[in-house]
Amino acid sequence: MMASERKTIRLRWGTLLIAALLALLCLLWVYPFLWLLSASLKEPLEIFSKGLNLIPDKAQWENYARAWSTAGFAQYMLNTILVTAGTVLLVVLHCALSGYVLGRYDFYGRRLIIGILGATFVIPAGMTIIPIVDLTQDLGLLSSRWGIILALAGSGQAAGILLYAGYFQRIPKELEEAAVIDGASFFTVFFKIMLPLAGPVTATVSVLTFLFAWNSFLIPLVFTFGSPELRTLAVGMLAFVGTNETDWPGMAAAATLSLLPVVILFFFAQRYLVEGFAGAVKS
Amino acid sequence: MAMGQGAAPASAGARKDGSAEEIARQVWQSRWLYVFLLPTVILYSAYTIWPIVASIRYSLLDWNGFDSDGVFIGLANYSELASDPQFWNAFGNTLMFLVLAVPLRVGLALVLAVALNDPRLPFVRVMRTALFLPVVTTGAIVGVVMRFVLDPTGGPINVALLDSGLLERPVNFLGQASLALYSAVAIWVWKWLGVTLIYWLAALQTIPKDLYEAASIDGAGHVEQFRYVTVPLLVPFLIIITLLTAVEATNVFDLLLTLTGGGPFYATEVIDIFVYRQAFAANIPRLGYASAAALFFGACIVLLAALQMAVRWQLRRRAGEAR
Amino acid sequence: MTEDLKPVSPAALGPDLTRRAFLYGTVAAGAVGAAGGPAFAQAAKTIEWWDQFAPLVPLHQKIWEEFSAKNPGVKIAYTQMNPADMMQALQLAFRSKRAPDIHSILTSDLSVTNQLSKAGWFSPLDASFNADTPFLKEALLEGMTVFNGKAYSFPIFSFRQHETSLWWTKPFMEQAGIDPAAGPKTWDEMRKAAQAMTKGRTYGLILPLQFTNRMANHVLDLAQVAGAPGRFDWRTGAYPFGSEPFVQAVEFLLSFQRDGSLHPASSSLDARQGRARWAAGEAGMFFDGPWNSGVVKGSFAQVLDTLGAASIPLPSSGQPAFTYHTPPSGEFWISSQCEDPAIATKILQLFTTDAYYVGLAERMDQPPLDLSAVDRANVHPTYKTVVEGFKKVVRLAPEPLIKNPNVAQVYAEMKPVTPGVGEIVQGAMGGAVSNVKATLQQYADKLTAERDRAIKVVKDKGVQVSLDDWVFPNWKQGEDYTASHYKT
């Protein structure tokens, strides 16, 4: 009796200790963001002179106004949302379709496709930009959001496909057999039964693609050289740094603005992310 | 990700004889499969495979990017690469980065995941979000902010160290050639830890709870449970997560470009930056040379991954024999 | 990596400029009318214009607006480029047939200009282009702004400038016991001043070590006032980077680090960040070009009154010292994808007027092609001081390309050699380069080998070119090497 009681007490202390350590660690993770937030409310020269002090002399809210309207971040935000939404939709659709087929069926060319997916999965992407520009130019899509979306959705989505394939593979065959007996077509089986079942994977792939598209840099950068009105937040950020050299508060404000939506999204979506992953890799 | 080798054979391909007629019949039978594959095949060929093929051609050219096309020079770029000390410096830095950063990130994330998996812990969601914050932050922002945080005079880390009397002179985390790469590794791990953490949390969730209960009944303490239940079940995940992390560790371009620009004196110049410098940042770009460097390095990575796969396969086969 | 960009300040232009530009606009419109035919007035045209001259935007905007007012239907659409990715943007724009009508090319590197010309990026200026002013006539040189006898571009800035003027804030100088109006004259004085300024978290000097191009120029300027000829020895054609003056210049910069008077953050700063921290009072001194006064006025107006500046400090007082600058390069180019080079030329003609030079001086950026405009302009006293310094110190250097236009092909063949002088300084400061002299000599040797190789490749094509093109026996210390010198 005594022994077990002592054990629970020790455990509780242990948990508290761990919690304290973790809290300390999290502070280390959050500090730069507090700094960012504080810098976004300071005056330019104040950033250097204040050292550890995060509280600005007087909150300079106009930094946000400047970033939002003058520097065009309102437009950048809209572009980023459109590009990200388009990319997520397209990626989920094409990954689900091909993942379904690759995971559940055997056919000519299956091994070849999986081999190519696996090989391109590990190739460092990004330096192959010129052919992508040429291609998009030939399609007449350079300087359009569609051009960016297609390029993002088409480059290196092997992980999404393989996630779907792994998941669909484990869904018992009886499910669709029953449906086929009821006269459902291949199409109906997929959209009415299989895709809804794959909810966790869809959530995972959506979140991963969201992060990828939201932060993607090189493709939006080179696709919008000639049309600044199509810049995304990440690109706009760089342009802002490049052309407003010493406006660090404005930059910090812009960075804070671009971070807010993703932080909120992650706070609510993290459960799906973990469960989705768990569901997707359980096998 | 975890593609089983024996996929469920269903509609087509049950019996395979090689005749063209038979193949055509089977392809026709599974036409819907090909329709489903079509979007992926089109997108993938256009935006992933075609660029690689095109890069192979570029790597055989002497091309400054100003002219519409280059001059064919065969394998000259590759032989120049082989004797370019700066390429090998970048190659070495990339490997160094991999060797330092990947175990650190994978290991630290595992420890944290085990801790955060404890349901009794308060504020788990807030903590996870905190650790995930840098992940959702663009590399360019992280680079700029971290330069301030690590600044030798005004940066909080140095201010804290100096004020507390731990240091006499400020540490130049990014400006000293011998320190810069380690600082970059630390920042990269800091930035991406959240992703690996999620992977591990997911992996931990796949372990059935009753296994722990059974172990507990057998008298195993927490350490023993971790040692004999958690660890063995996590090994397959370790391989996948390490591979994923290693691939990400070869793609540190935007972070390093804003953090150090590859300096001081090439101390943090990884392959990406080398390629970028050749292709875009130099006064006169050398697109062919840059393509050759990118391809050569890509080939090395594929080789490395294949090697790892082969070892894994061997191990599994041996384990199978032992059973 | 990043070029030095200066921000926009909303200083208004004098009414004089407005009137004159207006006048020129009228004349230009008349000329276009004559050349382009009567259909011109109706045609709606947009001239796409890309450059990185942020500080000049207010000046340029005014000129463009006036041009549009005089030429209904012609609009100038301006895109301010980020220097970091500007060349990449141009490269992709040209590939995809979306090149701007008029653009700058960021660098004055002649090999780049020549490669671009060879690749067919440029259209020549229309025949209507008028280059009657003496400084313009001097500046239109084959291989630089003229290709195959046709003028393509023209300079707007004077060659009489360097980037190594010394800037300080007066309270620091007083604290160091030096006349805050005059500043330190010699390297020793500067070192002592820096040590006196170093206290707690303030330092004597801040350097933009991450901006290696800038550092290379600082070293080149300092080495020249210490007796080095220039980028190469005009008398022999050899690369002098391993010579004593270059080693002395690098050692001089390193001495601040050894003294502890160099701001420790220098290693990770580019020029813009270095300037901001200097302006914030973290360091007393900063090397910079003439534009520093303009930038401080725009971004850190609160320290403008404490600003002090002097010409480049010398190794020892007494001896005359010079730095040599190559003839000025063209800034704006009409792209080959421009549909109406005639109109583009008319607009560019407005960038050759006296009013423009005065306006340019008042932006306090690089000094205008006509230096005398600075005297007529309303500028900060430090800007005047610095420009006066240029007149005393900066001389025109010989240029092989002018001696033999075929040299352009050698330039086009030469590949970049790294690590260069800027990287070597960075490495020496960061502890990665221990033997400065040997590393500098290595750079000189590699550059020599690359030039020899390039000369050989070009020669093998049957082109007349040789190492002699880099040798100028009649060059004299302290003299401008003008067009007439090439003829003898």
Three-state SS letters, C357-404: HHHHHHCCCCCECCCCHHHHCCCCHHHHHHHHHHHHHEEECCCHHHHC
Task: Determine what percent of chain A is predicted with pLDDT higher than 90.
Answer: 16
B315: left (phi over 0), alpha (psi -120 to 50) or beta: alpha
Residues B64 and C185: their CA atoms lie apart, in Å, by 45
Count contacts between B and C (CB, < 8 Å): 107
Q: Is residue C131 part of a domain?
A: yes
Residues C386 and C241: their CA atoms lie apart, in Å, by 27
Q: Say if the Cβ atoms of C277 and A48 lie within 8 Å.
A: yes
Identify whether residues C148 and C240 lie together within a single domain: no
Note whether C274 and C203 are within 8 A (CB). Answer: no
User: Is residue C448 less than 8 Å (CB to CB) from chain A?
Assistant: no
Q: Name the residue range of residue B226's domain.
A: 85-322
Q: Say if the Cβ atoms of A259 and B32 lie within 8 Å.
A: no
- Consecutive H or E run containing C287: strand C283-288
pLDDT at B12: 41
Note whether C185 and C196 are within 8 A (CB). Answer: no
Average pLDDT, stretch A48-72? 80
Q: Is residue B130 part of a domain?
A: yes
Q: Is residue C384 part of a domain?
A: no
- Which CATH number covers residue B310? 1.10.3720.10
A248-281 and B139-149 are packed helices; what angle lies between their axes, rounded to 10 degrees?
A: 120
Q: Give C10 to chain A, closest Cα distance, Å.
A: 14
A23: chain B residues, CB-CB within 8 Å: 123, 127
C427: chain B residues, CB-CB within 8 Å: 177, 264-265
Provide the strand spans (E) within chain A: none
- Per the model's pLDDT, the better-predicted residue between C60 and C16 turns out to be C60
Note whether C267 and C203 are within 8 A (CB). Answer: no
How many domains does the structure of chain B reveal?
Answer: 1
Identify whether residues C155 and C70 lie together within a single domain: yes
**How many Cβ atoms from other residues are within 10 Å of residue C62's Cβ?**
17
Residue type, B108: L
Note whether B184 and B268 are within 8 A (CB). Answer: yes
Q: Is residue B24 part of a domain?
A: no
C103: chain A residues, CB-CB within 8 Å: none
Residues C331 and C430: their CA atoms lie apart, in Å, by 35
Residues C401 and C470: their CA atoms lie apart, in Å, by 9
Identify whether residues C231 and C260 lie together within a single domain: yes
Residues B109 and B195: their CA atoms lie apart, in Å, by 9
Identify whether residues C433 and C321 lie together within a single domain: yes
Nearest CA-CA partner of C272 in C420, C54, C437: C54
Q: Is residue B20 part of a domain?
A: no
Q: Is residue C218 part of a domain?
A: yes
Identify whether residues C133 and C194 lie together within a single domain: no
Residue type, A104: R
Nearest CA-CA partner of C311 in C108, C167, C129: C167
Chain C residues 2-41 with a CB less than 8 Å from chain A: 2, 5-7
- Per the model's pLDDT, the better-predicted residue between C322 and A203 turns out to be C322
Identify whether residues C145 and C172 lie together within a single domain: no
Name beta bridge partners: B130.
none
Q: Is residue C9 part of a domain?
A: no
- Which CATH number covers residue C217? 3.40.190.10
User: Is residue B269 less than 8 Å (CB to CB) from chain C?
Assistant: no
Q: Is residue B74 part of a domain?
A: no
Name beta bridge partners: C333.
C103
C121: chain B residues, CB-CB within 8 Å: 66
Nearest CA-CA partner of C208 in B263, B253, B186: B263
Select the residue of C83, C96, C282 nearest A137 (Cβ to Cβ): C96
Identify whether residues C316 and C341 lie together within a single domain: no
Identify whether residues C414 and C432 lie together within a single domain: yes
Block mean pLDDT (10 aa), chain B, length 323? 39 56 81 90 90 90 86 93 94 93 95 85 82 84 86 84 84 89 95 90 84 82 81 84 82 82 88 85 83 88 81 79 61
* Domain map (residue ranges) of chain A: 2-39, 68-281
- Evaluate if residue C30 carries a pLDDT over 50: no
Q: What is the 3-state secondary structure (H, E, C) of C17-81?
A: HHHHHHHHHHHHHHHHHHHHCHHHHCCCEEEEEEECCHHHHHHHHHHHHHHHHHCCCEEEEEEEC
How many domains does the structure of chain C reveal?
Answer: 2
Q: Is residue C1 part of a domain?
A: no
Q: Is residue C174 part of a domain?
A: yes
Residue type, A4: S
Identify whether residues C64 and C192 lie together within a single domain: no
Task: Determine what percent of chain A is predicted with pLDDT higher than 70.
Answer: 88
pLDDT at A123: 66
User: Is residue C202 less than 8 Å (CB to CB) from chain A?
Assistant: no
Q: Say if the Cβ atoms of C419 and B265 lie within 8 Å.
A: yes
ipTM: 0.81
- Evaluate if residue C16 carries a pLDDT over 70: no
Q: Name the residue range of residue C351's domain.
A: 15-159+328-379
State which of C379, C403, C420 marks the end of a domain: C379
Note whether B63 and B286 are within 8 A (CB). Answer: yes
> Which chain B residue shows the shortest CA-CA distance from A24?
B127
Name beta bridge partners: C48.
C77
CATH code for the structural domain at A68-281: 1.10.3720.10
State the pLDDT confidence band at C466, using cuts at 50, 70 and 90: very high
Task: Determine what percent of chain C is predicted with pLDDT higher than 70.
Answer: 91
pLDDT at C372: 93
End-to-end CA distance of chain B: 26
User: Is residue B89 less than 8 Å (CB to CB) from chain C?
Assistant: no
Identify whether residues C422 and C462 lie together within a single domain: yes
Average pLDDT of chain C to the nearest whole number: 87
Name beta bridge partners: C245.
none
Residues B119 and C264: their CA atoms lie apart, in Å, by 47
Residues C258 and C333: their CA atoms lie apart, in Å, by 46
Q: Say if the Cβ atoms of B206 and A281 lie within 8 Å.
A: yes
C300: chain A residues, CB-CB within 8 Å: 44-45, 246
Identify whether residues C179 and C126 lie together within a single domain: no
Residues A71 and C141: their CA atoms lie apart, in Å, by 40
Q: Say if the Cβ atoms of A222 and C92 lie within 8 Å.
A: yes
Q: Say if the Cβ atoms of C430 and B180 lie within 8 Å.
A: yes
Identify whether residues C274 and C336 lie together within a single domain: no
Residues A264 and A269: their CA atoms lie apart, in Å, by 9
pLDDT at B10: 44
Note whether C161 and C289 are within 8 A (CB). Answer: yes
Question: For chain C, what's the residue count?
Answer: 488
User: Is residue C88 less than 8 Å (CB to CB) from chain A?
Assistant: yes
Note whether C94 and C115 are within 8 A (CB). Answer: no
